[in-house]
Structure 1
């Protein structure tokens, strides 16, 4: 049984000013997100040597919790406002590997 619904989002920001404004938007939004009942992990990273990139890791209790997150006012505000700061967005939805011994090539 999977233990949640996970994704990563990679934002590439336009320039240093956009990065600062984006970070302020995230700071204003993140506490509301972390208080959502079905949000288990919501964290933001800046990759080493990529000052204009932010990577979000999000883990929700299930798909319904993710949909509830997407419907929150603070999330809708963030989604509407982020566009002026970013030059690219990549989203990866993740499947948990619950039994690694059954994957192809395991145990070799």
Structure 2
């Protein structure tokens, strides 16, 4: 069965680094992560944020043109490489929350 494609698809991801490894994780994100998404036309927003209350947490907000673009991103060789590169700094798997944008200031949803 084919998944229904919506106008926009978004993702909130919580990445928890091992104690004291958030800066190392952010370095991989800033380098490899940004290089990978630069060639993805369906990736509209890919933004990493430091948690102000937890020194080990990085939050990602991502927005894609549609569900197919999110699936292409998640299944890409670049994401597989990114997962391998960040694994040594991560304290477990990311927590993912899938979203459907409805209204926003500054974004075309």
Question: Would the TM-score normalized by the shorter structure come out above 0.5?
Answer: yes
Q: Which has the higher helix share?
A: 1
Q: Which runs of 5+ in 2 are unaligned?
A: 1-5, 104-109
Give per-residue Cα distances to partners, 1:38-95, cap 9 Å, x unaligned: 0010000012122210000010001110111123322111122322211142110113
Aligned to 1:11: 15
Length, aligned pairs only: 96
C-alpha separation between the residues in 2 aligned to 1:34 and 1:47?
24
Aligned to 1:94: 99
C-alpha separation between the residues in 2 aligned to 1:64 and 1:96?
16
TM-score for the superposition, normalised by structure 1: 0.77
RMSD value, Cα? 1.8
C-alpha separation between the residues in 1 aligned to 2:95 and 2:54?
15
Aligned positions of 1:1-108 closer than 5 A: 2-16=6-20, 18-29=21-32, 30-88=34-92, 89-97=94-102
